[in-house]
Amino acid sequence: MGKSSRLPGFYKKPVAERAKVVAEWADLTPEELAALSGEGGTALSPELADKLIENVVGVYGLPLGIAANFQINGRDVLVPMVIEEPSVVAGASFMAKLARAGGGFRTSSTPPEMIGQIQVLDLEDPEAARAAILAHKDELMELADSCDKVVVRLGGGSRDLEVRILDDTPIGPMLIVHLIFDCRDAMGANMVNTACERLAAPIERITGGRVGLRILSNLAERRLARAECTIPAEALAFDEYPGERVVNGIVEAWAFAAADPYRAATHNKGIMNGVDAVVIATGNDWRAIEAGAHAYAARSGRYTSLSTWGKDEAGNLIGSLEMPMAVGIVGGATRAHPVAQVALKILNVRSARELAEIIVAVGLAQNLAALRALATEGIQKGHMALHARQIAISVGATGEQIDRIVERMLQEGEISQPRAQALLKEESGK
């Protein structure tokens, strides 16, 4: 039997103890454990940061949390999440716990194929240019492969070459070549951009046109990851809310997002709370993921929800999320950032596709957490409880004092540092 990602009482432990639990779970070395706390400059140092970007003057910290309870295709995973917003890690963990009652998340993905775009201008006959490019397809794909022999050896490389004509642009017609390139375990921006730049001169020769842009597309619609879950209605029941009512409320909330772009933007933002947190933790490019997600959400010509929620015949809640997920486990910051390396080790993923699938499962869990709260008690109750907890901790409360102070502040409806300080003083006098 594999390890369980159920970590009862994890949230009550002090930070260092939680880190130890995770270190044991994921077999982290003492150096990797130290990288989590940044002890002795083992996390991202200014020197290393200076190699990543320009004009470095320091490093910027964000909280790294662990979402527990995730079961994905039968495997338990602990999910590192980097995010400044309260409730996100707790929400994902809680929904993953509910999803376990229905067998966890089922995920799948398409091959890691990116699209590189080459813009061709000044063409007298775009149709003829298109035919000419397609007649040279094999040699152009071979040329693209010659740019990165390593990825080709690993089973990646050119997969196809497509040509589109944009008849109606503000400057008239143009022709766009799409190079479809399998990037294997890399996000692939560098390899795709290099290949596109390499194809520019031959494409100019073949078409007689002039090549403009040579760059990958972040609408990575061929590199999709998908997650699904089924949650028994009774697992969703809480307080005065029967399971059936929660299921119906979630479906109604989804229908709102499916029909209305104003709501869909916020609905999808909730999904991205989960997605981005894992993308950042693993050193991936979250702007690329954001761009791809929202473009995909608008692919029908109308911006809509990325996820779908419904009910099966037995009244269980069923959810699914499909979106582009161009992430890597090699190259870029995934390798250079010491904490991203530790995050990848905790996830224990063997391929970029596996990482992409976990990320989408977290996005679906996060979406569920938001909809469940919004469709029932609202999100402020949970937020205020967490806020109160943070305030209690900030004034120096420890252990069970925290829970008592939080409880009092919530009951009294006064959540503030002075009140937390006064309550801590009372506690100390006990």
* Catalytic residue ranges: 85, 269, 285, 383
Task: Give the integer Cα–Cα distance in Å for 32 and 64.
Answer: 14
Task: Give the integer Cα–Cα distance in Å for 41 and 58.
Answer: 12
Say whether residue 273 binds ligand MEV (CB under 6 A).
yes
Q: What are phi and psi of 195, to 5 degrees?
A: -65, -40
Among 37, 266, 380, 398, binds ligand MEV (CB under 6 A): 266
List all residues 6 or more positions away from 100 whose beta carbon is below 8 Å from its beta carbon.
Answer: 6, 69, 71
Indicate the residue among 7 and 229 with the shorter CB distance to ligand MEV.
229
Would you give the distance in Å from CA 322 to the centre of its chain? 12
Among 18, 136, 178, 269, binds ligand MEV (CB under 6 A): 269
What is the SS3 assignment for 39? helix
Q: What is the smallest separation between the CB atom of 270 and ligand MEV, expressed in angstroms?
A: 3
List all residues 6 or more positions away from 164 whose beta carbon is below 8 Å from its beta carbon.
Answer: 175, 176, 178
Binding mask 374-403 for ligand MEV (x = CB under 6 A): x----x------------------------
- Torsion angle defined by CA atoms of residues 370, 373, 378 and 382, in that order, rounded to the nearest 10 degrees: -90
Q: What is the smallest separation between the CB atom of 416 and ligand MEV, expressed in angstroms?
A: 23
Q: What is the smallest separation between the CB atom of 368 and ligand MEV, expressed in angstroms?
A: 10
Indicate the residue among 69 and 367 with the shorter CB distance to ligand MEV.
367
Q: What is the smallest separation between the CB atom of 407 and ligand MEV, expressed in angstroms?
A: 24
Site for ligand MEV in 72-131 (CB under 6 A): 85
Site for ligand MEV in 350-379 (CB under 6 A): 370, 374, 379
Candidate ranges 230-238, 261-269, 278-286, 356-364; the one touching ligand MEV (CB under 6 A): 261-269
Task: Give the integer Cα–Cα distance in Å for 234 and 242.
Answer: 7
Site for ligand MEV in 152-211 (CB under 6 A): none
Indicate the residue among 133 and 271 with the shorter CB distance to ligand MEV.
271
Indicate the residue among 75 and 269 with the shorter CB distance to ligand MEV.
269
Q: Which residues of 280-291 are buried (b: 16+ CB within 10 A; e: fewer)?
A: bbbbbbbebbbb
What is the SS3 assignment for 18? helix
Q: CA quadruple 45, 48, 49, 50: dihedral positive or negative?
A: positive
Do the beta carbons of residue 127 and residue 165 sit within 8 Å?
A: yes
Candidate ranges 93-101, 104-112, 128-136, 268-276; the one touching ligand MEV (CB under 6 A): 268-276
Indicate the residue among 340 and 371 with the shorter CB distance to ligand MEV.
371
Q: CA quadruple 14, 18, 20, 21: dihedral positive or negative?
A: positive
What is the SS3 assignment for 13? coil
Indicate the residue among 20 and 269 with the shorter CB distance to ligand MEV.
269
Residue for token pair 């990037």: 183
Q: What is the smallest separation between the CB atom of 80 and ligand MEV, expressed in angstroms?
A: 19
DSSP output for 377-405:
T-SHHHHHHHHHHHHHHHTT--HHHHHHH
Element housing 72 (H / E): strand 64-72
Site for ligand MEV in 292-321 (CB under 6 A): none
Would you give the distance in Å from CA 167 to the centre of its chain? 35
Q: What is the smallest separation between the CB atom of 90 and ligand MEV, expressed in angstroms?
A: 13
Q: Please count the residues of this chain forming the interface with ligand MEV, following the rule CB under 6 A.
A: 9
Indicate the residue among 23 and 370 with the shorter CB distance to ligand MEV.
370
Candidate ranges 267-275, 287-295, 386-394, 407-415; the one touching ligand MEV (CB under 6 A): 267-275
Candidate ranges 95-103, 266-274, 294-302, 395-403; the one touching ligand MEV (CB under 6 A): 266-274
Residues within the interface to ligand MEV (CB under 6 A): 85, 266-267, 269-270, 273, 370, 374, 379
